[in-house]
Structure 1
Amino acid sequence: MSDCNAACGESPREKLLGRGPQALSDAELLALLLPRAGGGNCPTRYAAALLQGADGLAGLLAADRRALLQERGLGPASVSRLLAAVELAARCARQPLTRRDVMTSPEKIRLFLQHHLGSRSREVFCCLFLDSQHHLLCCEDVFSGTLDGAAVYPREVVLRALHHRAAAVVLAHNHPSGLTHPSSADRHITQRLRDALALVDIRVLDHFIIGRGRSYSFAEAGLL
């Protein structure tokens, strides 16, 4: 057994193969993606320190790739593996939405939006443009903003919906604070978007607010 394995105990690879990926901690899973990061230090210990400095997994995944490349011990290969893993997870979550009625799978919408928005450090407003069968045509980040807000313009949303020839739209934005209760501004813009899209016969089916590990649905709350 190497010094690293002796210091860290059972290696993450052995643990994964023996007991499955769900048995690994965040640091152990991250260590498998960054086996050569940390300048020769134990990968699991390095991964744990990286997570602590980033305020957890969500904070690390929210980091800009330029910031990751500046992190001591992370090189281009390690950053590439990390970003590729994140993108694969997001694409896996998105795929079922292109094959079935989105509105019959609210949990799949939540899962996708958590991957897409949950770890963002700035507020992002996105639209899921749907066809007449409510299959996903495109997910597009329409507006982005600061830590606590993004300006949303109904005219631009209408133009993007017409561009994609959408029959319906699901709205979504994140709250970097992690809180998901809608503000008065959230309620106001939802109604404005609903009215603007109705003029061109496009329905707003829902508006999700995404926090870290949680979400809020306007439709489920009876606000649409």
Structure 2
Amino acid sequence: MEYRLTIKEMPEELRPRERMLKAGPHSLSNSELLAILLRTGSRKESALDLASRILKEKEGLQFLADAALEELVGIQGVGLAKAAQIKAAVELGKRLAAYKGEQRFTVESPASAANLLMDEMRFLDREHFRAILLNTKNHVLGTETISIGSLNSSIVHPRELFKQAIKKSAAALILAHNHPSGDPTPSREDVEVTKRLLEAGKIIGIEILDHLVIGNGIYVSFKERGLI
């Protein structure tokens, strides 16, 4: 009987899994990718031989995309477990191909940014300093609480603000904090803190587009007031 090498007996640089770890999945052939899914072959052929035979005899990837579970089980060397693994991988691939990504909120104006935070921040009993993280298209990547202060002041350090921005690969920020009094009129401290953060942002390369002060149902935009 003809003897065939198992994948474990192959030189390490020829094994599909090791090659994928070293060079990435894009470097593997269809047979090698399928062999990784199959994991094992049989006494007569390795997983790589089995994968090559399936693709050669059964119209390649199109067969895998269309085949029912029963058709896969009917292939010599492919039992129920291997067939289920193949179908699961194919179905996951189809779902990824159809996946459009989450629809991200886009900040189009100071009002839209304020609306994003208003309901959550208007009734807070302490000053919360937050940042809206944006990508290059002004899509919201997330909001981060940078610090929580006292009843009438918040303390924010540039290090804490930009650490979160860099971590999320943000291209720009909109700053926001609330006034528990309900009056969003910026204080002198608000203006000074904003100037300091603007300067830090220019050095780091992350633009601060606006600073919002959230009151009870109303807000003040530094951008609209010409303070930025």
Q: TM-score range by the shorter chain?
A: 0.5 to 0.7
CA contact (8 A) 1:124 1:174 kept: yes
2:225 and 2:207 map into 1 onto residues whose CA distance is 17
Amino acid at match of 2:116: F
Q: Number of paired residues? A: 127
Offset of residue 99 of structure 1: 3.6
| Structure 2 counterpart SS, 1:223 | coil
**Match in the other structure for 2:159:** 155
**Match in the other structure for 2:178:** 174
Residue from 93, 108, 125 that aligns with 1:121: 125
Offset of residue 106 of structure 1: 3.1
Q: Percent identity?
A: 38
- What does 1:81-92 correspond to in 2, within 5 Å? none
CA contact (8 A) 1:166 1:202 kept: yes
CA contact (8 A) 2:110 2:210 kept: no
1:193 and 1:139 map into 2 onto residues whose CA distance is 17
Offset of residue 143 of structure 1: 0.3
Report the TM-score, using the length of structure 1 for normalisation: 0.54
Q: Which has the larger radius of gyration?
A: 2
- What does 1:17-36 correspond to in 2, within 5 Å? none
| Unaligned ranges ≥5, structure 2 | 1-101
User: Aligned-residue CA RMSD in angstroms?
Assistant: 1.5
Runs of 4+ more than 2 Å apart? 105-108
- 1:73-103 CA-partner distances (Å, limit 9, x unpaired): xxxxxxxxxxxxxxxxxxxxxx98x243x1x
CA contact (8 A) 2:110 2:221 kept: no
| Unaligned ranges ≥5, structure 1 | 1-94
CA contact (8 A) 1:155 1:196 kept: no
CA contact (8 A) 1:128 1:171 kept: yes
**Match in the other structure for 1:107:** 111
**Match in the other structure for 1:216:** 220
CA contact (8 A) 1:124 1:144 kept: yes
CA contact (8 A) 1:170 1:207 kept: yes
Report the TM-score, using the length of structure 2 for normalisation: 0.53
1:106 and 1:179 map into 2 onto residues whose CA distance is 17
Amino acid at match of 1:128: I
- 1:148-199 CA-partner distances (Å, limit 9, x unpaired): 1111111111111111110000000000011111111000000111111111
Residue from 130, 135, 155 that aligns with 2:134: 130
The answer to whether 1:196 aligns with 2:200 is yes
